[in-house]
Structure formats: structure tokens, C-alpha cells
Amino acid sequence: MVRAEFPMLVSLLLALVLSTGSAPISRAGTALNNSSDHFALLSFKSLIRSDPSQALESWGNRSMPMCRWHGVACGRRGRRRGRVVALDLGHLSLMGTISTSVANLTFLKMLSLPRNRLHGAVPSALGHLWHLKHLNLSHNSLDGAIPPSLSRCWHLERISLGYNRLKGEIPRELAALSNLRSIVLFQNELQGEIPHELGSLHNLKVLDLSYNKLQGTIPLEISNLVNLEFLQIASNKLTGEIPPGIGNLVKLGTLALSSNQLSGSIPSSIGNLSEMAFLGLGLNNLTGSIPSLHSLSSLSILVLAYNDLTGSIPAGLGNLTSLYSLDLQQNHLTGRIPESLGNLNLLELLDLSFNNLTGLIPHSIGNLHSLSEIDLDNNELEGPLPPSMFNLSYLNFLPPRSHTSMYNSIITSMGLFHLTWETTFQIYSSSLQISINSMVLFLPLCAMPL
């Protein structure tokens, strides 16, 4: 009986020894990992050549624990306890390069280094930061390519690399990051096409690729990003048409596609985007008429300038009562200025210049009491300038720069202003510019400073 129990007793004692011995091994392992974080941070510091605010002065101070160093945050529970989980050193004007040793901060969730003077490449070793959720290296002088290895950061939610000097193409591998909420790559030197694979990022809310050198067309797959709230691809070299499926992005609040070479008509489906606050399609080669946008009740800025749009100005624009900027200049619009524009009580800027508009200036324009800038230059408007416009307190009427003497002589002799000219004449000020072709103006004497 005793012999039978002896092996069991040995097994129990062995298990006890192993269990008690495992504790110091675990603690030693944690200490070793903490030491590796410590070493990684000091390696990062060693490549910083200038620290004008002395933010990193505390780093390496033996009297101060690593987790209390400036910009360093550590975990407090479980395996992350005592491990660096965030490195936040933005807005410090740090000069230097990013050490590859940062990749040894294996529990890092946030790496935020914006608005410094960092140069060199984005380390491909960052792809080893499997726990990383937020990466912000914007507003630096980083160059080279965007590392495809970032696609291994499975938990990544936000990538912000804007305002750098990054070159090459946007890695298609980023489409593997299904948790991505935001991709911000504006103001770089990125080339190539927009990867159609990005259309699989169904959680994406922000996509900013503006001010690069991107070419090709806007991928049709972009219409699959049904959670997108902000889409800006302005100032690139994009061609082709605006995908009609963009009307599926019903959460979109900002659509900025200006300064490209887009052609074709403006999709009527854009009229479905009821959450839209900013719509910028200017400086393209868009043709056709302005679609119905009367349902965009949240729209505050509408820019369709510098295109080849034809047809009349839709009366439905008068329903956009949240609008404070309407810019339709440099198109081929015809017909009359709609009376309904007088409903835009919040409007501050109205630019309809360089079109082929005809008829009278509506009296309802005088209802736009917030208006500070209006430009109707180079149209074919006629008839009297509505007296109601002189009730607009934010508009300051000034005599034309090249015709001051003519103004003064007419005002002195007649007590009013009454001119009919076939040549173009302009009233200039910081806020008002109206082209006169076959147009008769009656301006009250009180409106014209002597």
C-alpha cells in the first residue's frame, strides 16, 4: 500500500516544486520585458538630435520610473502591467529619425509623434507592433515609401501619415486591416492609383488622400464604404467620372474632389446624401447640369466652380437654408438668377461670376443679411440694381478704381447714378463686384461716398 502511494507522493512534490519555481521565472521574464521596453525608449532617444523643450530629459533618470517618463504610458493590469502601451510625443519639435527599436515595444497600442521635425523613413519594423491601434506620424519630414508591413498590425484603427514627403504607391496590403477607421495620407508625394482593395474596409469613416500625385480613376469599390463620413481626394491627377455609387455613402458629411481632371456629369445620386455639409467638386472638367440637391438640408458649403457645367441654376438651391458659401463661378450657366436664393439667410459668399446669366438681379438678394461677398462679374445681367441690396450692412460700396472722377461728376451734377454702357464696367470693393453689360444702375446718392 505504501509502495503504491509513493509514486503519487513524488508526483505531487514535483508538481509543487515546479509551481513554486515558475513564479520567479515569470517575474524574471516580466523584468526582462520591462528592461527591453526601457532599452527601446533609450534607443529612440539616442536618435533624437534636438529636443528644444527638453521633453526627453527625464528619460534614463534612475530616480524616475520608466512609466513616469514624459509621453510614456504603461499598462496596469495583466500581462500589460508595467509595459509601455502608449508613446505620445507630439508637438515637441523633436529633430531626428525614428529608431527601429520602437518595434520592441511589443505591447504598444498608440504611437503618436505628430508635428515634430522627424526625417528619414517610416521603419518597416513597425509591422511587428501587433497590438498597435493608433499610428500618427503626421506633420513631419518623413520620406520613402509607406511600409506594406503595416498590414501586419492587425488591430490598427487609425493611420495618420499626412504632411510628410512620402513617395511611392499606397500599399494594397492595407486592405487587410479590417479594423481601420481612418486613413489620412494628405500632402505627400504619393503616386499611382488608389487601390480598389480599399473598398473592402467596411469600418472606414475617414479617407483623406488629398494633395498627392495620384492618377487613374476613383475606384468603383469606394461605394462599398457605407460607413464613410469624410472623403477627400482633392488636388490629385484623377481622371474619369465620379462613380454614381457614391450616392450609397449616406453617412458622408464631406466630399472633396476638387482640383483633379474629373469629367462627365455630377451623379444625381449625390442628392441622396442628406448628411452632407461640404461638397467641393470645383476645378475639374465636369459637364452637364447641376443635379437636384434640394434634399441636402445640412449643406453649408457648395463649390462647383471652374467646370464646364451648363443649364440654369436650380431653384431648389434655395432650400439649402444651412448654406453659407455658394460658388458657381467659371462655368457656362445660363438663365436667370433664381429668386429662391433669397431664402439663404445664412449665406455669406455668393459667386456666380463668369457665366452666361441673363435677366434682372432678383430683389430677394436683398434678404441675404449675412452676405459679405457677392460676385456677379462677367455675365449678361441687365436692368436696375435692386435697392434692397443697399440694406445689406456687411457690403461696402466703393467707387471703381479707374472711374472715380466720372463717379464724382455724375453724382455732383445729377444727385444719382444713372448709366447705360455696352462695355463692361465694374463696381469694386472688398465685398462686391458686379459686371455691367447692358445694365442700368440706379444707386441712391447715400450709397456712394464722395
The secondary structure of the chain, three-state, reads CHHHHHHHHHHHHHHHHHHHHHHHHHHHHHHHHHHHHHHHHHHHHHCEEECCCCCCCCCCCCCCCHHHCCCEEEECCHHHECCEEEEECCCCCCEEECCHHHHHCCCCCEEECCCCEEEEECCHHHHHCCCCCEEECCCCEEEEECCHHHHHCCCCCEEECCCCEEECECCHHHHHCCCCCEEECCCCCCECECCHHHHHCCCCCEEECCCCCCECCCCHHHHHCCCCCEEECCCCCCCCECCHHHHHCCCCCEEECCCCCCEEECCHHHHHCCCCCEEECCCCEEEECCCCCCCCCCCCEEECCCCEECCECCHHHHHCCCCCEEECCCCCCEECCCHHHHHCCCCCEEECCCCEEEECCCHHHHHCCCCCEEECCCCEECCCCCHHHHHCCCCCCCCCCCCHHHHHHHHHHHCCEEEEECCCEEECCCCEEEEECCEEEEECHHHCCC
Spatial CA neighbour of 225 closest among 244, 253, 245: 245
User: What's CA 361's distance to the chain center, in Å?
Assistant: 36
Q: Which of 61-65, 285-289, 403-407, 419-423 has the lowest mean pLDDT?
A: 419-423
Output the pLDDT for position 429: 36
Mean pLDDT taken over the chain: 85
Give the span between the Cα atoms of 403 and 83, in whole angstroms: 74
Q: What is the mean pLDDT of the segment spanning 133-161?
A: 98
pLDDT for 21 beyond 50: no
The answer to whether residue 394 scores a pLDDT higher than 90 is no
Length of the chain, please? 450
Instruction: Give the strand order in the sheet containing 285-288.
Output: 263-265, 285-288, 308-309
**Least confident residue range of 271-285, 337-351, 381-395:** 381-395
Read off the pLDDT band of 404 (50, 70, 90): very low
pLDDT digits (tens, 9 = 90+) for 176-221: 999 999 999 999 999 999 999 999 999 999 999 999 999 999 999 9
- Alpha carbon 401 to chain centroid distance? 39
Mean pLDDT of 321-346: 98
Kindly indicate the confidence band of residue 392, based on its pLDDT and cuts at 50, 70 and 90: confident
pLDDT given for residue 313 in this prediction? 99
Q: In sequence order, what are the residues at sequence separation of 6 or more whose Cβ sits closer than 8 angstroms to the Cβ of residue 18? A: none
CB atoms within 10 A of CB 2: 6
Rounded Cα distance between 17 and 428, Å, is 93
Determine the pLDDT at residue 400.
34
pLDDT at position 1 over 70: no
Angle at 212 between CA 206 and CA 217, to 5 degrees: 75
Q: In this predicted model, which residue has the larger pLDDT, 63 or 50?
A: 50
Confidence check: pLDDT of 436 > 60: no
Q: Which of 167, 164, 168 is nearest to 140 (CA)?
A: 164
Residues 6+ apart with CB under 8 A from 324: 300, 301, 346, 347, 348, 349, 370
Residue 214, pLDDT score: 99
Residue 325 pLDDT greater than 60, yes or no: yes
Q: 110-124, 299-313, 323-337, 423-437: which has the minimum mean pLDDT?
A: 423-437
Residue 143 Cα distances to 44, 190, 275, 296, angstroms:
18, 10, 36, 40
Over residues 431-436, the mean pLDDT reads 54
Q: Please, which pLDDT band fits residue 61 given cuts at 50, 70 and 90?
A: confident
Q: What is the pTM of this model?
A: 0.84
Rounded Cα distance between 99 and 122, Å, is 9
Domains of the chain and CATH, by start: 10-167 (3.80.10.10)
Average pLDDT of the residues in 417-438: 39
> In this prediction, what percent of the chain has a pLDDT beyond 90?
75
Enumerate residues 6+ apart whose C-beta is below 8 A from 295.
Answer: 271, 272, 274
Least confident of 11-20, 318-327, 366-375, 416-425: 416-425
Q: How confident is the model at residue 435 (pLDDT cuts 50, 70, 90)?
A: low
The model's confidence at residue 358, banded by pLDDT at 50, 70 and 90, is: very high
Alpha carbon of 291 to those of 272, 311, 313: distances in Å?
A: 11, 10, 10
pLDDT of residue 22: 31
Q: Is residue 351 classed exposed, middle or buried when 0-12, 13-18 and 19+ CB atoms within 10 A define those classes?
A: buried
Q: Given a cut of 50, is residue 29 above it in pLDDT? A: no
- CA-based Rg of the chain, rounded to a whole angstrom? 32
What's the pLDDT band for 33 if we cut at 50, 70, 90? low
Asked if residue 347 has pLDDT above 60, the reply is yes
